[in-house]
Amino acid sequence: MGNSHDRSPVRSERNGDIAIIYASDYLNKLSGERVERECRVQLDAGCRALVVDFKNTGLVNSIGVSIMLGVIDAAERASAPLVFSNVNAQAAQLFEILGLTRHALLARDEADALAMLSEVNAPPHGRQVPVGRHT
Amino acid sequence: MTDQTTKLIHAFSALADLGEELADTRDFEEMVRSTLHVVLGSLGVMRGAVAEYVQTDDLLRFVAAWGLGEDTPEKFPLDSRNAEIFSTADPRALSLVDQEQLALIETRLGTQLTGALRELHVSLVVPLVVHKKFVGVILLGGKATGESFTSDEREVVRTMARHIGVGIYNHRLLREVEQRAEENRGLYEDLRTIYKDTVRAFAAAIDCKDKYTQGHSERVGKYSEIIAREMGWSEERVEGIAVAGYLHDIGKLVVERDIINAPYKIDAKQSSELNRHPAAGYEILAPINHPFADIPLMAKYHHERIDGRGYPEGLTGEQIPLGAKIVSVADSFDAMTTDRTYKRRKVFTEVVEDFRKNAGKQFAPEVLAALCRALLKEVQGETKERRMTKLLGKDYLEAAECAPLLIELIAELESGATLAASSA
């Protein structure tokens, strides 16, 4: 089973235990796989929550959706909460219809995403993977 | 926009993506992986796989998988009976979560295969069938929404499956054609090798007949090849002229050995008999379907001269095929640079002088110039492969002495000065 030949890195940042990964302008196979790979790298490196930021993303195609489902799967396997931030209205509707928002939160922006994750991680109620669309 | 409209647009867009991915045939596995992504992404399915049916091995080979975990097998046994069931399966998309269908699937495919699919968390099995042939299967896990597949969604998957099936089927055809082409290439290479070996064997046989000129035919072949390449001939034509060089004296096979090996000056009758060899060579070579053009003619005319004083037909200038002019120069060059029982070889300055004297008379100046350029390149170390130096012996070409001679002669030949001088 093949792998993408493209190995160029995607932009990401760490905020404590949280990794923020920035998707590119068009989330297709090439760019999607880079995001997915980076998410896995961050999870393997011990990060405990993920934010995928779509600030620069205009269009998400079917392959992009599939790859985001892969990110969800990876995050769930690592019990890491996942937030999609800065998702435009069209992509947000798609994520909602296709069920991605049942596994990941949507946040207005990166700061909002970090705030949501800090709530999730806050004691004493313990960790809980948030479900549902943030408005 | 309503959810239903958005979903429909997304499905249409996915079909367009699918077409684009299927059109990219450079990497089969990558193509299948992309199409799997399209299917998963169009319906929001978390995991799935595409496997192709390998009839010869009775198995399903997983070409692409996503989200099934690292333990996903690379292949899966599937006997021809089950493949047959898949190819006629109705409904086309089999649900492993639907209890009624599950019972049907278990009956058809057996509990072992069905159990294995369930272990992979497969909930929908979509056979890929093209021209009633089972070519593979799409295995889909559950939807991210947690809901069951709707009939519309199954229809979308079935439509996509038809396209993906055709993609796999076409790839197989392409693979078969490539395999045949590869086999044919191998056969062709074998034939070429046999042909070349045969040519070499003939050359050896020709040279055996003449005890003074051992290796002559092979050397003429090599010199002809070097000259032709220097003249910018294509590799295929270069290969052809090498063969012509190897076989140029094949007509000597019909000339009496005593005449060929006479250690004295032969008389007119014997000379006439010996001079039959180019025409006899043509007679031998003409009926053979050579992979290269004009080989018989090159043998026939390698003793023709530019000035018309050659044989067998006394052709002049442009009447003589260029290939024959090349073989003629190569032949004479080897004759001048090898020892014979009755004659020591010429030193290089004498060879240069002979060329100068006979340019435009016996030899074509452009062919002589090409030979001299090739020699000069070796003398000056411009070519790594010093083929002529090896043939001539390492001490024959003294760089310090040869280079200025060659440079001067090349200038004369290329400017036409030699021709003018020799005509005067």
Backbone angles phi, psi at B294, to 5 degrees: 65, 15
Interface touch A69/B38, C-beta < 8 Å: no
The pLDDT of residue B92: 67
The pLDDT of residue A135: 34
The pLDDT of residue B364: 95
The pLDDT of residue A2: 36
Q: How far apart are CA B117 and CA B121, in angstroms?
A: 7
Nearest to A69 among B13, B29, B46 (CB): B46
In this prediction, residues B69-82 reach a mean pLDDT of 81
Nearest to A62 among B13, B62, B144 (CB): B13
The pLDDT of residue A126: 38
Which residues in B lie closer than 8 A to residue A66 (C-beta atoms)?
36-41, 45, 66
Tell me the pLDDT of chain B averaged across its residues.
87
The chain A residues in contact with chain B (CB within 8 A) are 1-2, 4, 29, 61-67, 69-70, 72-73, 90, 93-94, 96-100, 102-103
**pLDDT of residue B69 exceeding 90:** no
Nearest to B144 among A2, A93, A98 (CB): A98
**Preferred mutation among B46, B120, B138 to probe A, highest tally of A CBs within 10 A:** B46
- Residue B245 or B99, more confident: B245
pLDDT band at residue B192 under the 50/70/90 scheme: confident
In this prediction, residues B413-420 reach a mean pLDDT of 72
Q: Which residues pair with B406 in a beta bridge?
A: none
Which residues in B lie closer than 8 A to residue A64 (C-beta atoms)?
41
Minimum Cα–Cα distance from B144: chain A residue? A99
Amino acid A102 reads R
The pLDDT of residue B27: 83
* pLDDT tens string B77-124: 888 888 888 777 665 677 777 777 778 778 777 788 788 888 888 889
Which residues in B lie closer than 8 A to residue A90 (C-beta atoms)?
6
Tell me the pLDDT of chain A averaged across its residues.
83
Token pair for B253:
């096979």
Alpha-carbon torsion, ordered B231, B233, B235, B236, to 10 deg: -140
pLDDT band at residue B401 under the 50/70/90 scheme: confident
CB burial of B43-66 (b: ≥16 within 10 Å; e: otherwise) equals bbbbbbbbbbbbeeeebbbbbbbb
Gap from B129 CA to chain A (nearest CA, Å): 22
Nearest to B40 among A61, A66, A94 (CB): A66
**pLDDT of residue B319 exceeding 80:** yes
The pLDDT of residue A132: 39
In this prediction, residues B22-41 reach a mean pLDDT of 87
In this prediction, residues B33-62 reach a mean pLDDT of 92
Q: Percent of chain B scored above 90 by pLDDT?
A: 45
The pLDDT of residue B344: 85
**pLDDT of residue A32 exceeding 70:** yes
Q: How many Å is the Cα radius of gyration of chain A?
A: 14
pLDDT band at residue A15 under the 50/70/90 scheme: very high
* pLDDT tens string A99-130: 999 999 999 999 999 999 987 765 544 334 44
Among the listed ranges A45-54, B275-284, B362-371, B411-420, which one has the minimum average pLDDT value? Answer: B411-420
The pLDDT of residue A129: 42
Interface touch A99/B146, C-beta < 8 Å: yes
Q: How many Å is the Cα radius of gyration of chain B?
A: 37
Q: How far apart are CA B307 and CA A114, in angstroms?
A: 95
Q: Is the ipTM of this complex over 0.85?
A: no
**pLDDT of residue B376 exceeding 50:** yes
pLDDT band at residue B255 under the 50/70/90 scheme: confident
**pLDDT of residue B398 exceeding 90:** no
Q: Percent of chain A scored above 90 by pLDDT?
A: 59
Among the listed ranges B38-47, B190-199, B207-216, which one has the minimum average pLDDT value? Answer: B207-216
